[in-house]
Amino acid sequence: MKIGIVGAAGRMGRMLIAAVEAADGAELAGGTEAANHPEMGRDLGELAGLEAAGVVLSADPHALFEAADAIIDFTVPTATAAHAVMAAETGTVLVVGTTGMDDEQQNAVTAAGQKAPVIQAANFSVGVNLLLGLVEKAASVLPDTYDIEVLDMHHHHKVDAPSGTALALGEAAAAGRDVALDDVACKARDGIIGARPKGEIGFATLRGGDVVGDHTVMYAGPGERVEITHKASSREVFAGGAVRAAIWGCSQKPGLYSMKDVLGF
């Protein structure tokens, strides 16, 4: 199975190259970056600190979509929306880990699912997807006298906040309470804000250092507090899950899938 990586020269891209090279039954089809990238033309294996892979970094994503069975995309929203159009044109499996997309960009990804298998997740870690299930279950069991807060911390390079994983955790908590997250979310607090409204789901965002990704969901109730936490110490957990999703997607019909579908949750 031939898997391509868009944004291959970034930190996550290099980790994905290594994950494809290590996966049974997977072959690296190629990788792309912007035309002016300083690593352009470099062997992808060497780029990831491995032996030469025999394929080099290019600036032609459309050619990569035509050559690959599946593409993994952890880039930026504008690029992902364009890649979704290419996936629809070629029928190539698209694995999307990009977060922070607006409605128009998300619509492009959703539309691609009509023509190709698309697996989209805020987080491809098996542990985080287990966390999502636990968060929803806890929210369904604990009464609304328990205030829910979602905390995320990432490295100082991360550009969106709250993180896509934090928002997914908020969605899981809202689903457990049978409410719409948009109706109860509070994503920022500053100044004299008054008492916390009953049923609110709050978000707190921390950024600093080289933190890969820490997420905690707190249920603060009368006399006790329940906390469910996941801490990622390496991007390998995201890369491995994304490659697993790509391999799974190659045997699926067109559609928009989640990591829950991949894992059979």
Q: What is the pLDDT of residues 58-109, one digit of tens each?
A: 999 999 999 999 999 999 999 999 999 999 999 999 999 998 899 999 999 9
Let me know whether 213 and 249 are in one domain.
no
With residues binned 3-state (H G I as helix, E B as strand, rest as coil), the percentages for the chain, rounded to 5, are: 35, 25, 40
Domain span at residue 152 reads 126-232
Query: Residue 122 — very low, low, confident or very high, per pLDDT cuts 50/70/90?
Result: confident
Let me know whether 157 and 114 are in one domain.
no
Q: What confidence score (pLDDT) does residue 265 get?
A: 77
Q: How many domains does the chain have?
A: 2
Q: What is the pLDDT of residues 189-202, one digit of tens each?
A: 999 999 999 999 99
Q: What is the pLDDT of residues 27-67, one digit of tens each?
A: 999 999 999 999 999 999 999 999 999 999 999 999 999 99
Q: What is the pLDDT of residues 217-255, one digit of tens each?
A: 999 999 999 999 999 898 888 899 999 999 999 999 999
Q: Which of 74, 73, 84 is nearest to 109 (CA)?
A: 84
Let me know whether 160 and 68 are in one domain.
no
Let me know whether 211 and 251 are in one domain.
no
Q: Which of 166, 123, 93, 59 is nearest to 258 (CA)?
A: 123
What are φ and ψ of residue 48, in 5° steps? -90, 10
Q: What confidence score (pLDDT) does residue 85 get?
A: 98
Do residues 64 and 90 lie in contact, with contact meaning Cβ atoms separated by under 8 Å?
A: no
Q: What confidence score (pLDDT) does residue 99 get?
A: 87
Q: What confidence score (pLDDT) does residue 248 get?
A: 97
> pTM for the complete prediction?
0.79
Let me know whether 132 and 221 are in one domain.
yes
Output the domain CATH number for residue 216. 3.30.360.10
Do residues 95 and 73 lie in contact, with contact meaning Cβ atoms separated by under 8 Å?
A: yes
Q: What is the pLDDT of residues 146-158, one digit of tens each?
A: 999 999 999 999 9
Q: What is the pLDDT of residues 3-35, one digit of tens each?
A: 999 999 998 999 999 999 999 999 999 999 999
State whether the Cα torsion 90-45-214-265 is positive or negative: positive
Let me know whether 65 and 141 are in one domain.
no
Amino acid symbol at 58: S
Let me know whether 115 and 7 are in one domain.
yes
Let me know whether 240 and 116 are in one domain.
yes
Let me know whether 63 and 155 are in one domain.
no
Let me know whether 112 and 214 are in one domain.
no
User: Could you tell me how many residues make up the chain?
Assistant: 265
DSSP-based three-state secondary structure for 109 = helix
Q: What confidence score (pLDDT) does residue 126 get?
A: 87
Amino acid symbol at 28: L
158-170 in b/e burial notation, b at 16+ Cβ within 10 A? bebbbbbbbbbbb
**Catalytic positions:** 154, 158
pLDDT at 262 over 80: yes
Query: Residue 264 — very low, low, confident or very high, per pLDDT cuts 50/70/90?
Result: confident
Output the domain CATH number for residue 19. 3.40.50.720
Q: Which of 12, 80, 76 is nearest to 48 (CA)?
A: 12
Let me know whether 87 and 155 are in one domain.
no
DSSP-based three-state secondary structure for 179 = coil
Let me know whether 112 and 8 are in one domain.
yes
CA atoms within 13 A on the CB side of 92: 29
